[in-house]
Structure 1
Amino acid sequence: MRHKFNLFLLSGAALAMALSLAGAPRAATPEGKPKDETVTFEPAKVQSFAGAFLAARTADVDHDYPTAITLYRKALEFDAANLEIRERLMISLFLNGDFDEGLAEAEALKDDEAVERITTIVRGLDAIRDGRYDEAKKLLAYDGSNDLDKLTHSLISAWADVGAGREKQALQSVRSMDGPEWFKVFTEYQLGMMALVAGDAGTAREHLTAAITNQDAVATAPDTFMRGVMALARLEAAAGNKQKALDAISVGDEMISNYAPLKALRESIENGDKPAQQVSDATEGAASVLFSIGAALNRQGAEDMVSLYLQVSHALDPESADTLILLGGIAEKLEKPERAIGYYEQVPAGSPMRRISELQLGLALAGSDQIEEAREHLKELIAADPSDIRSYLAYGSVLSDAKDYAEMASNYDKAVEVIGPVPKQGDWTIFFQRGIAYERLKKWEQAEPNFKKALELNPEQPQVLNYLGYSWVDMNRNLEEGLDMIRRAVELRPDDGYIVDSLGWAYYRMGRLEEAVTELERAVQLRAGDATINDHLGDAYWRVGRKLEAVYQWNRALVSEGEDVNREQIKEKIEKGLPPLDPDATTAKNGAAEPEMPAPPPATEPDKKS
């Protein structure tokens, strides 16, 4: 199945925000926290402990933290000593960004072993924030066996030493820390920042250089890697070493291309500026520990845990733009658009990441069906900086959703002009999207060279392999090469139901029906609720004589998600079945001449190489 491809504004695996957002822009509350969605539930009507608790858990599961907090407090009115309710209330407060209120609950629960990991950390961080460094050290002492907890406690404890003026002790404690090799991904950056806060530029330079030359850092913790790059560049700029600062930025460009904040930093340094460091004291240093670990853990299914790290980091360092961006991205994943927009709007106007938040705003307008406003907003951003490739990607995403493929093609034509004759590997997305635009305009002679260029720049990109391979099979061209491309895409993305569907449907189009059934059954297992895949499996079942199962799959297609299937055609198939095969069909091997491939369904997970 040819399908849409989610694009990234940023290239880091954690900091990158997918270019899809719903909801309209909203102002932040006076306290600086984002407004959340309107609460329709009325907690005042709850008149029992069970009702309050069950409603609170429902809100909690739905990530509606304001409602959950209100209802947990309501439940405590009926049972003030209930530990489970207090635990969930504390966590909900932290997840909602209410650090001080959550801290009060943490103090009350400090002897509760069930939440000791949380209460110890937040109490230690509060002590650092208040300058009670020796108390923080005592709280953060750790003798357990969990590597992640050991790393977190040890690094924050070292920042307490920095705050107390014991910089040499802090550096020595981190250097002597026992642990797996991946610790260095985090410790080298933290050592560099500790040395910077202590005023030791030479030691800072040594550790930051080690941080950005660690190949594992790019894959394991890209956000921390980029923080290290930018810290080293700022260090060199402050020392008057302009060329060395630009060299550090070039290392970042080489590893993660088109990173907008790095571009802004380069321009600042080229203008002779000496930008301030992101971490300037022990409190911001402790916040950076939580940011680094939270960002590295940021993946599907870990939103609550990551949010907890990031919310506490945000409480200690509220001006951190990358923390706000990550919190916004998590809110998007949780389908809380107003909350996400609130975080984006808090990004400081002078931040290198401000443009990213503006791009997200344009996408948010489109997601809330304010299409014309979104188009105008994004066109203004392109006009303000025509060299920013992400602007074209954001605008192209809106145009694709609106099915304005002519304007989409024109947009990417302009982007290719900006790229020039020697594109970088990271530019493959531009050519891929331009290929899709021309393919949808039925201008294959212009689409195909763009797909080939995208593969030239990124030969193992599964989405491109899938799209080009299926297009060839669909048009009865380059059949074996196209099939090999789809097979390779499946090898690279074995759990992507859409790509597995491509392989099954390609077999179907080529008349290899038993193989088609095998792959389409697997695709349905991977994407059970997709109408197009269910429809495809129904067709394959019918052709191999499994007609009852075919009708069952077509019925599932009718009630499944997917706006691009022809539901009237499916109803006709349920009533009459498929027509006999046309012996004169031009499809490969006279196998299964069927309707043309539908328009792309919703995208799969975004590719991490973007």
Structure 2
Amino acid sequence: MRRQSSLLLLSSAALAAVLFIGPVARAATADPRPTAEDVVTFDASDVNSFSGAFLAGRTADVDHDYLTAISLYRKALDFDPANLEIRERLMISLLLNGDFEDGLKEADALKEDAAVERITKIVRGLDALRDKKFDTAKKVLAYDGPNDLDRLTHQLLSAWADIGAGKGKRAMANVANLKGPAWYKVFTSYQLGAMALVTGDIGTARQHLNTAVTNNEAVATAPDTFMRAVMALARLEAAAGNKQKALDAIAVGDGMVANYAPLKALRQSIEKGEKPQQQVTNAAEGAASVLFSIGGALNRQGAEDMVSLYLQISHALDPKSADTLILLGGIAEKLEQPERAIKFYSSVPVDSPMRRISELQLGVTLSETGKAEEAKQHLKALIDSDPSDIRSYIAYGSVLSEAKDYKAMAETYDKAVEVIGPVPKPGDWSVFFQRGIAFERLKQWDKAEPNFRKALELNPEQPQVLNYLGYSLVDMSKNLEEGLDMIRRAVDARPDDGYIVDSLGWAYYRMGKFDDAVTELERAVQLRAGDATINDHLGDAYWRVGRKLEAVYQWNRALVSEGEDINREHIKEKIERGLPPLDPNATTADRSPAEPAAPPPPAPANPDKKS
């Protein structure tokens, strides 16, 4: 199945052990927290029992409607003021909503509660650090437990408390001597560089930042931290008068993460002879960078609450940090809170090098709220302001894709390819991928296929391209073995992606390997429950292996599941009559339903974004 998730580790038990919370942000930017005007809340005054308030609060909590959860938990406490579980949930909801001062009050009240000790220690410790009570912060943040992530986080935060207290050598020695898994190095190298910069030790800072920038694992493990290290090194060299070394550092970053707008803005500034200020200049900003780095590295599907807490703390300690606001916006989008996402994007400082990224993402999010024309005008203006910025075309193409205006989408990516020129970089694969999708949707396969293959030439094992092209080849009964091989490689890269696993199952089906199809499609349904196309595919496979009652059940599920592109009339016909008998003389390539599967929606304009 070609569909992809749209345009942003731990078990639930472990989650409670790593909730890091901090004090309130003192920012001059717009407040991105939701208000009663943003969320249709449950009226707590209508609740007349403790159980009613608690259950409704938990429901709101699970739905990430923190404002409603806060109101209901407070109502529950009116009935039972001493209930620790409710107070714990209230504290967490307040912090997730960005209400740090109120969350801090609850943390102080719960400081003797062993169930949330790790949370309250972090809250109180970071509050002390923010208020420059560094010795107090050290005592509160002390940790001697077994959790690797906790140990790394506490040690780095404690080191920044030492930095604030003027004990830089001790801080850096403790971090340098920190024992733990190999992945610690990804984070400690950058942090040691940032600490050396704050203490004025430029030589040591250069050494550690170079280590961070040349760590091959850093891009895959913590790309946000890697880019911070690249930019910190470039700023260091620019400030030291080493303009070419600064540009060389930027070139390293550009080679790893193409079209990264903040890097482009930094290059332009340095080329003008400017000496941009470092992002981390004090202990509070340093502590914020710890939480940003770890939160960014853990940012994936299912970890939204945990990551939000890391980033909300980071924002509290460093409210001017644009990359934190953008990641928070991305999480709000994944939680289907576009209005809140727009507030985060709008809060990025106007003079930030990341302002353009926030403007681009804001345009895409406007489209998701139904404001398609406003989104188009917004993104067209961004293209006009900098026609060389490929990301502008990608964002605009995403809006056109959402509107199913594939002709305009193809034309937009034609312009992007012109800007790229005759020698595209590996990072430009997504432009060709998206142009291929536009042509495929226009039923111009002769133009679509070369673009997909160009995307693979630039990024040979990109799973989304392998899946989309492989699925297309199989669904058209063209180059079946090649298509199957592509899909298998995509599954190897992303074994838990239900859409890609569905592609493999459907490939087996089209080749007449119905038992193999059932195996893969059953797994796809487990991975992506409630998707109409996957249910439809599994129903077809069940029918072919003689499991006809189960086939009808899956077809009925398809009718009530998500998926606007399925052919509902055809599914109803299958429920009534089943599938036609197979022609025993047909080749395996012809062993397909009377009507091919409906094409799924296109991939997102930013297909490499974390989900």
User: How high is the TM-score relative to the length of structure 2?
Assistant: 0.91
Q: CA deviation at 1:86?
A: 1.7
Alignment of 1:267-286 (within 5 A): 267-286=268-287
Q: Separation in 2 of the partners of 1:357 and 1:392?
A: 15
Q: Separation in 2 of the partners of 1:356 and 1:191?
A: 28
Q: Which letter does structure 1 place at the counterpart of 2:275?
A: K
Pair 1:127-2:128 in alignment:
yes
Alignment of 1:121-520 (within 5 A): 121-520=122-521
Q: Separation in 1 of the partners of 2:52 and 2:98?
A: 26
Q: Separation in 2 of the partners of 1:589 and 1:290?
A: 53
Q: Once structures 1 and 2 are overlaid, which stretch shifts more, 195-204 or 523-532?
A: 523-532
Q: Which residue does 1:23 correspond to in 2?
A: none
Q: Separation in 2 of the partners of 1:7 and 1:454?
A: 19
Tell me, yes or no, if the aligned pair for 1:512 and 1:591 is still in contact at 8 Å. Answer: no
- 1:325-362 superposed Cα distances (whole Å, 9 cap, x missing partner): 11111111111222111111110001111111111221
Q: Which letter does structure 2 place at the counterpart of 1:363?
A: V
Tell me, yes or no, if the aligned pair for 1:34 and 1:338 is still in contact at 8 Å. Answer: no
Q: Which letter does structure 2 place at the counterpart of 1:3?
A: R
- 1:52-80 superposed Cα distances (whole Å, 9 cap, x missing partner): 22222222222111222222222222222
Alpha carbons of 1:191 and 1:78: their partners in 2 closer, same or farther (altered >3 Å)? same
Tell me, yes or no, if the aligned pair for 1:583 and 1:590 is still in contact at 8 Å. Answer: no
Q: Which residue does 1:596 correspond to in 2?
A: 596
Alpha carbons of 1:44 and 1:602: their partners in 2 closer, same or farther (altered >3 Å)? farther
- 1:25-58 superposed Cα distances (whole Å, 9 cap, x missing partner): xxx9997233343233111222222222222222
Q: Separation in 2 of the partners of 1:253 and 1:261?
A: 10
Q: CA deviation at 1:230?
A: 0.6
Q: CA deviation at 1:319?
A: 0.7
Q: Separation in 2 of the partners of 1:5 and 1:332?
A: 12
Tell me, yes or no, if the aligned pair for 2:29 and 2:347 is still in contact at 8 Å. Answer: no
Alpha carbons of 1:188 and 1:47: their partners in 2 closer, same or farther (altered >3 Å)? same
Q: Separation in 2 of the partners of 1:302 and 1:444?
A: 39
Q: Separation in 1 of the partners of 2:490 and 2:285?
A: 43
Alpha carbons of 1:240 and 1:30: their partners in 2 closer, same or farther (altered >3 Å)? closer
Q: Which residue does 1:57 correspond to in 2?
A: 58
Pair 1:34-2:30 in alignment:
no
Alpha carbons of 1:444 and 1:479: their partners in 2 closer, same or farther (altered >3 Å)? same
SS in 1 for 2:255: helix
Tell me, yes or no, if the aligned pair for 1:7 and 1:393 is still in contact at 8 Å. Answer: no
What is the root-mean-square deviation in Å for CA atoms of aligned residues?
Answer: 2.3
- 1:489-538 superposed Cα distances (whole Å, 9 cap, x missing partner): 23323322222222332333333334333333333333231111222222
Q: Which letter does structure 2 place at the counterpart of 1:595?
A: E
Q: Which residue does 1:529 correspond to in 2?
A: 530
Q: Separation in 1 of the partners of 2:180 and 2:500?
A: 40
- 1:422-474 superposed Cα distances (whole Å, 9 cap, x missing partner): 11111111111111111111212111111111111111122222222232233
Q: Which letter does structure 2 place at the counterpart of 1:52?
A: A
- The runs of 5 or more residues in structure 2 that have no matched partner are 9-26
Q: Separation in 1 of the partners of 2:128 and 2:172?
A: 20
Alpha carbons of 1:524 and 1:70: their partners in 2 closer, same or farther (altered >3 Å)? closer
Tell me, yes or no, if the aligned pair for 2:66 and 2:96 is still in contact at 8 Å. Answer: yes
SS in 1 for 2:279: coil
Alpha carbons of 1:106 and 1:408: their partners in 2 closer, same or farther (altered >3 Å)? same
Q: CA deviation at 1:277?
A: 0.7
Q: CA deviation at 1:576?
A: 2.1
Q: Which letter does structure 2 place at the counterpart of 1:162?
A: I
Alpha carbons of 1:220 and 1:594: their partners in 2 closer, same or farther (altered >3 Å)? same
Alpha carbons of 1:173 and 1:446: their partners in 2 closer, same or farther (altered >3 Å)? same
Total equivalences in the alignment: 590
Tell me, yes or no, if the aligned pair for 1:476 and 1:588 is still in contact at 8 Å. Answer: no
Q: Separation in 2 of the partners of 1:76 and 1:259?
A: 48
Tell me, yes or no, if the aligned pair for 2:580 and 2:593 is still in contact at 8 Å. Answer: no
Tell me, yes or no, if the aligned pair for 1:287 and 1:313 is still in contact at 8 Å. Answer: yes
Tell me, yes or no, if the aligned pair for 2:379 and 2:392 is still in contact at 8 Å. Answer: yes
Q: Which letter does structure 2 place at the counterpart of 1:148?
A: L
Q: Separation in 1 of the partners of 2:404 and 2:342?
A: 25
Alpha carbons of 1:87 and 1:537: their partners in 2 closer, same or farther (altered >3 Å)? closer
Q: Which letter does structure 1 place at the counterpart of 2:596?
A: E
Q: Which residue does 1:18 correspond to in 2?
A: none
Q: Separation in 2 of the partners of 1:608 and 1:550?
A: 35
- 1:362-413 superposed Cα distances (whole Å, 9 cap, x missing partner): 1122112222221121111111111111111111111112111111111111
Q: Which residue does 2:569 correspond to in 1?
A: 568
Q: Separation in 2 of the partners of 1:143 and 1:590?
A: 64
Alpha carbons of 1:547 and 1:142: their partners in 2 closer, same or farther (altered >3 Å)? closer
Q: Separation in 2 of the partners of 1:593 and 1:584?
A: 15
Q: Separation in 1 of the partners of 2:583 and 2:479?
A: 22
Q: Which residue does 1:3 correspond to in 2?
A: 3
Q: Separation in 2 of the partners of 1:31 and 1:512?
A: 57
Q: Separation in 2 of the partners of 1:108 and 1:160?
A: 24
Tell me, yes or no, if the aligned pair for 2:579 and 2:593 is still in contact at 8 Å. Answer: no
Tell me, yes or no, if the aligned pair for 2:338 and 2:368 is still in contact at 8 Å. Answer: no
Q: CA deviation at 1:144?
A: 2.1
- The runs of 5 or more residues in structure 1 that have no matched partner are 9-27
SS in 2 for 1:245: helix
Q: Which letter does structure 2 place at the counterpart of 1:132?
A: K
Q: Separation in 2 of the partners of 1:608 and 1:374?
A: 20
Alpha carbons of 1:593 and 1:65: their partners in 2 closer, same or farther (altered >3 Å)? closer
Q: Separation in 2 of the partners of 1:375 and 1:31?
A: 24
Q: Which letter does structure 2 place at the counterpart of 1:88?
A: R
Tell me, yes or no, if the aligned pair for 2:61 and 2:69 is still in contact at 8 Å. Answer: yes
Q: Separation in 1 of the partners of 2:576 and 2:346?
A: 53
- How many percent identity over aligned positions? 76
Tell me, yes or no, if the aligned pair for 1:582 and 1:593 is still in contact at 8 Å. Answer: no
